[in-house]
Chain A
Amino acid sequence: AQTVTQSQPEMSVQEAETVTLSCTYDTSESDYYLFWYKQPPSRQMILVIRQEAYKQQNATENRFSVNFQKAAKSFSLKISDSQLGDAAMYFCACQEPSGGGADGLTFGKGTHLIIQP
């Protein structure tokens, strides 16, 4: 079983600044995967970034990077140089490949990111 917690229902940031979205998770597995998905107003969920638990190096995708702290079970998303198009709901998710059911994918409740022009 796994749980994913996003403690910030809403965040606001000025355009061009940096913002960090928090996520903590709980899993008994040693092998798992972590994801951040973005859901813009158009509603389609898009994968932003993923991290394999066995990799110590933090994943990076252009302006998006993660701070993965395995011992603390923390997986935060940093967005640098925020742009208006970054405004969306962001969901953190955990996947246990060895778990039962739907690849063991569990989502947090989401953080609504507002970009102030």
Chain B
Amino acid sequence: DVKVTQSSRYLVKRTGEKVFLECVQDMDHENMFWYRQDPGLGLRLIYFSYDVKMKEKGDIPEGYSVSREKKERFSLILESASTNQTSMYLCASSLARGDANSPLHFGNGTRLTVT
């Protein structure tokens, strides 16, 4: 089974802090994604990556950046955390672009609270 591991389940940070959310997948997937999940808004794509050192903006990239130095690891960075970034963050991976036989596999999520 594919395993997508997010380093923290719960995280509490202060406004203005730099925050790193880490995600690792163990199945050599090409694609990795960061989503944000908020009640009533569903999942919204923040950033994604199709290859090492490659990144593309999703629907709501403002206030975030990402890093993919190794194929298995995709980090989400909040340069200066703000209270409106309090949310559930979901990491996902998939085998190859445009291949529906490879659906998204999700991590357990990180619930981030910014105070």
* B104-A47 in contact (CB<8A): yes
Residues of B within 8 A of A (CB): 31, 33, 40-43, 45, 48, 56, 58, 88, 90, 92, 94, 97-100, 103-104, 106-109
* B106-A103 in contact (CB<8A): no
Q: Which A residues touch B33, using CB under 8 A?
A: 102
Does A78 sit within 8 A of B, measured CB to CB? no
* A44-B108 in contact (CB<8A): yes
Q: How far is the CA of A86 from the CA of B81 in the complex (A)?
A: 36
27 contacts between A and B (CB under 8 A): A9-B40, A37-B104, A37-B106, A42-B108, A43-B88, A43-B109, A44-B106, A44-B108, A44-B109, A45-B90, A45-B92, A45-B104, A47-B103, A50-B103, A52-B100, A91-B42, A95-B100, A97-B97, A97-B100, A101-B45, A102-B31, A102-B48, A102-B58, A105-B104, A107-B43, A109-B40, A110-B42
Q: Which A residues touch B106, using CB under 8 A?
A: 37, 44-46
Q: Size band of the A side of the interface?
A: 20 to 34
* B43-A103 in contact (CB<8A): no
Q: Is the interface of A mostly helix, strand, loop or mixed?
A: mixed
Residues of A within 8 A of B (CB): 9, 33, 35, 37, 42-47, 50, 52, 91, 95, 97-98, 101-103, 105, 107-110
